[in-house]
Homo-oligomer: A and B are copies of this chain.
């Protein structure tokens, strides 16, 4: 079954025009790298496998992020998560590390890798300079993956950082998304972008989602309760049990302050709502928004110029989530667990 973006299937994805690749790397300077770990099959043997996990690194700009931090805002939609680095961003409005996405029990291994990387790059840390705040987000991929095995190692994180490059990026069952489930189907990594007109200029804004939440009957595609229809038609024999969570990382080249980026992050649930998400109990949902254009280089926009950015934030949240569904491929994991890809053609035929 060929995978393709929701937009390429003819679905309406919003008013604003997407960027060149329609992914987060349309924001100049943003780099993304994946490391996918897929190994073994059969029954779960903790510490051995099967391994269905990975790590995704996002770098806001190619420079030294510790020395050139970015304005950032974070919105905790549902705090049931074990992500690292949240209070510092809430206090200071700054991001001074790369961003990792991985599985819940590997956040500390991932952080170890990032710390080694940053210490090496910045000999002043902990000597005569302050420590960075490491940002690692997570979802629980234990339905498919031997999560107890902690198979993501520090060097996988460093590898993902080194692999990070411009787009277009690979989406679906890749990197941190290898073992994730969305609406009891296969989820993972999705992305989208918009060109945002404001005050006579054009800015870029992009989102990357790691999706791992929801029940099939909640799934909406362009407002149509396809999930409910699939469930009633008994199309899906095997539905994965979802431990939940959604991570959203947004980037823009607009010179926005941390307070304004927080306003953008707060709009993410409006996009999540379009996909049918109800933020179930146990679903850790965070949205981080980052600007990679320092306020020293451009005057920040007025709050009254933000409406097109709000529109973009809502649209790319929804489109990223849908793209993770449209791009992801079926994945079998531990104990015979199978997470099936969205049957795109049937869905499209039902949507008329």
Contacts and interface: CB of A to CB of B under 8 A. Distances in A.
Interface of A: 12, 15, 44, 46, 76-88, 90-93, 104-105, 108-109, 111-112, 115, 119, 123, 125-127, 130-131, 133-134, 140, 142, 147-148, 150, 217-218, 220-225, 228, 243, 258-259, 266-267, 269-274, 277-282, 284, 286, 303-304, 306-307, 310-311, 313-314, 318, 352
A112 B119 contact: no
A116 to B, nearest CB: 9
Given A44-B127, A269-B269, 16 more contacts: A15-B218, A77-B266, A80-B91, A81-B87, A81-B88, A105-B119, A108-B108, A112-B112, A126-B140, A127-B148, A130-B282, A131-B142, A220-B223, A267-B279, A270-B272, A280-B310
A305 B27 CA distance: 33
Contacts of A80: 88, 91-92
A274 B223 contact: yes
- Number of copies of chain A assembled together: 4
Contacts of A82: 84-85, 88, 131, 133-134
B228 A15 contact: yes
A187 to B, nearest CB: 18
A150 B266 CA distance: 33
A130 B142 CA distance: 9
Contacts of A218: 15, 311
Contact of A92 (B131, B280, B303, B313): B303
Given A79-B88, A307-B280, A127 B142 contact: yes
The 7 A-B pairs at the shortest CB distance, nearest first, are namely: A223-B223, A273-B273, A79-B91, A270-B273, A79-B87, A269-B269, A126-B147
Contact of A259 (B81, B225, B258, B318): B258
A76 B83 CA distance: 16
A273 B317 CA distance: 11
Contacts of A90: 76, 79
Given A90-B79, A108-B115, A217-B15, A279 B148 contact: no
